Structure 1
């Protein structure tokens, strides 16, 4: 983008295509602020430039800004959205959980005949994702069945995740069995779903038949057994994961640290800590907090703030576990010291 910006700044004449290309480029590399600065300076905007900025907000996680800009476009510019605009807005509505606006967008598509202009299946995929996120799965499945490209794996995953999230495992399983295209997300979603309702044997059966097991699938097995209070089985799958050459995720360790603390299995917690050190893992906030919780559960004196691997970030989150440990063991003075430091840090964050 540096070279493109130099060339852009040197241009004596720029048209809407030039401006829009720069806006899209900045949004594509994640520099939404600079993209929006250019958008505000653009002398003439068309539906493509509006859509580029709306999409730039949506794809970079600024969903509220995407919807507000869309409302601005509709209110002041007189420009109407096209297919690409609707795709970005569908994802923004899903993220913001605005089913009413999502349905209005779908109605706009139907009334203006844009639903037929779905040559690559992306429009249907966005609507399936949107309705699945809302939990309106009848609509999502209807669009899925009517789409000529309904076997896109992302659409399958959205529907299965929606069914799992709403506890409709039978429908999720029927869809899983009926489609030929499955990926790791499809398999892992089904495994998680069966663990959520306590069907451990079905989850294990699916895992055993899964063709390509990655770290997320192994972690789902560890988490599912912990969730169903089967700690020995969880440690077994953790050992199998490592023996298959799959490196555990930080979340894998965090789950086992939490379970070790709940079961007061301090020796196993220390073993996990040793494995982390040997792996030279960079500690994150969740791991740091999980290890503090283990020490607290064993009625040991909690680790001092200066000894925690993540202390350098000066974040507030680890204070929660430290408070709990200090208070429960009646180390009253350190507890209030930590409380004071926490308050000071929060005040500083607002100053």
Structure 2
């Protein structure tokens, strides 16, 4: 005896987070023809097939299978089951992840069947266009919402942020009658995302003084990342204040907050503090290991970075592309040639990771800094793609350090073709020739640079921008 559609719908809703169960129920729905639109059958009410499809679509999206949800959507249409307002939020999220072009077709279909009056559907499309960085379309959809909720406002803030329009984002934020932690975090994250680190910290301070909401994990990560990327004397003190606030109010460090703190202390040169935070983390995910290895690498502790990399593998943590960039950089800075070559080979042999441009830059830097310029040149020639400016730039800098004049001139000429307006390339090339006392060639390079009106970036001094920020509350 076949199962009823209503009973299977209840099972779907009960096991919505269980991938294996959902697939079993899905199989039953197919074999018993429950997904066919048969409104004439008494056991199959008119609305049931839409509910079944919606439940399946939500379930597969929660399992991070956006393509499966889009296939279900096409099957829904093929079986003449009409989507409703509950269908589109999940479908548009799937399209955002896997097929932006299809997302626009889905928008057109939503308009055609008349569900775009629903504010939740419209909010989903605001988020969709925000991800596509199509600010104009995001604003048009937002303006169609009669009474936008806070989620709609937050989606529009995200659209402004991703398009770099922080002025409009702040204006819209200030116009909101109600704001939640997502609203505040969107602005803090937006300033960080757009490289405006001091403003990110300042807005976080406003959030703390306002006391409307309590920061969440994303807020802390954005403000700590801003501190880590800001070269100002007072930033270390501010980062420590944020760390103290987290300890008082959050207790145990999450994987992402802990990683942000490790990165912050590492970039400040406080390896002891970075290591303390790393050791205190109970849930050390790969990102935390990567941050600690990068911290050791950037502070000239290459051998310690290699030891930590070995410990990571012993604990069963599998490295990724970012890990190898960090560890190869450590080898390059420590001139650990044999270790670097062995690690580069292990990427593909042991971990099936295909090297990308950043890994090749590290290897060229490693060989070149060790004075192995011929090996570095041969390595570049063996690359599976044409070297870009970052690869050749590493070789040019090494030629300057080791006085390889002829090779430096050859590499320099190639770089000037790629980057004719890059002042640093001209300066380095002139320096290589001046060191070799080839004054006429150095003068020609300087003259070409002057004729093209390419100026060296001037040095400057500044007042510490952190001194104007208000100290954080102790609560």
Which TM-score band applies after superposition, normalised by the shorter structure?
Answer: 0.7 to 0.9
Q: Counterpart in 2 of 1:221? A: 363
Rounded Cα–Cα distance in structure 2 between residues aligned with 1:59 and 1:226:
33
Q: What does 1:258-269 correspond to in 2, within 5 Å?
A: 258-260=397-399, 265-269=404-408
Asked whether 1:175 is paired with 2:308, we answer yes
Q: Please name the residue that 1:337 is paired with.
A: none
Residues 140-179 of structure 1 aligned to structure 2 (within 5 Å): 140-147=274-281, 149-152=283-286, 154-179=287-312
Partner of 1:123: 257
TM-score normalized with structure 2 length: 0.56
Counterpart secondary structure, 1:66: helix
2:409 and 2:304 map into 1 onto residues whose CA distance is: 43
In the alignment, the residues of structure 1 paired with residue 247 and residue 404 of structure 2 have an alpha-carbon distance, to the nearest angstrom, of: 59
Distance 1:133 1:270, change over 3 A: closer
Structure 1 CA distance for aligned equivalents of residues 215 and 458 of structure 2: 48
User: What does residue 444 of structure 2 align with?
Assistant: 303
Distance in structure 2 (CA, Å) of the matches to 1:148 and 1:265: 50
- Structure 1 residue aligned with 2:226: 92
CA distance in 2, matches of 1:111, 1:265: 56
Deviation at 1:89, TM superposition (A): 1.6
Instruction: Quote the Cα distance in structure 2 between the aligned partners of 1:83 and 1:265.
Output: 50
Cα distance in structure 2, aligned partners of 1:178 and 1:252: 30
Deviation at 1:177, TM superposition (A): 0.5
Summarize deviations over 1:146-165 as a string: whole Å, max 9, x none.
5454132x321210121223
Tell me the equivalent position of 2:373: 234
Assess if the C-alpha contact under 8 Å between 1:295 and 1:303 holds in 2.
no
Query: Cα distance, 1:242 vs. partner?
Result: 1.8
Number of aligned residue pairs = 309
Shift in CA distance, 49/102, structure 1 to aligned 2, threshold 3 Å: same
CA separation in 1, counterparts of 2:170 and 2:458? 38
Alignment-derived partner of residue 326 in structure 1: none
Give the CA deviation at 1:81: 2.1
Change (3 A) 1:265 1:140: closer
Residues 233-275 of structure 1: per-residue CA shift (max 9 Å, x gap): 2232222222232432313323433444566655434433565
Post-superposition offset of 1:61: 1.6
CA distance in 2 between counterparts of 1:54 and 1:122 reads 16
CA separation of 1:40/1:164 partners in 2, compared to 1, >3 Å: closer, same or farther?
same
Partner of 2:429: 291
Q: Contact between 2:225 and 2:260, CA under 8 Å: does it hold in 1? A: yes
Partner of 1:50 in structure 2? Answer: 184
Which segment drifts farther, 51-60 or 168-177?
168-177
Question: What is the rounded CA distance, in whole Å, between the counterparts of 2:171 and 2:301 in structure 1?
Answer: 46
Distance 2:396 2:218 in 1: 45
**C-alpha distance in structure 2 between counterparts of 1:106 and 1:262, whole Å:** 40
Greater mean alpha carbon deviation, residues 35-44 or residues 133-142: 133-142
Moved segments of 4+, more than 6 Å: none
Q: Is the 8 A contact 1:222 1:235 kept in 2?
A: no
How many angstroms apart in 2 are the aligned matches of 1:242 and 1:195?
19
Structure of higher CA gyration radius: 2
- Go from structure 1 to structure 2 and tell me whether the alpha carbon gap of 1:125 and 1:40 turns closer, same or farther (over 3 Å shift): same
Q: Which moved more, 1:139-148 or 1:123-132?
A: 139-148
Mark the runs of 5 or more structure 2 residues left unpaired by the alignment.
Answer: 1-134, 349-353, 460-475
C-alpha spacing 1:57/1:262, structure 2 compared with 1 (3 Å): closer
Structure 1, unmatched stretches of 5+, are 321-351
TM-score (norm 1): 0.73
Matched, 1:111 2:245: no
Candidates 209, 221, 243, aligned match of 2:382: 243
RMSD value, Cα: 3.3
- Taking the aligned partners of 2:184 and 2:210, their CA distance within structure 1 comes to 12
Q: Secondary structure at the match of 2:229?
A: helix
Match of 2:151 in 1: 17
**C-alpha distance 107-294 of structure 1, shift in aligned 2 (>3 A):** closer
2:168 aligned to which of 11, 14, 34 = 34
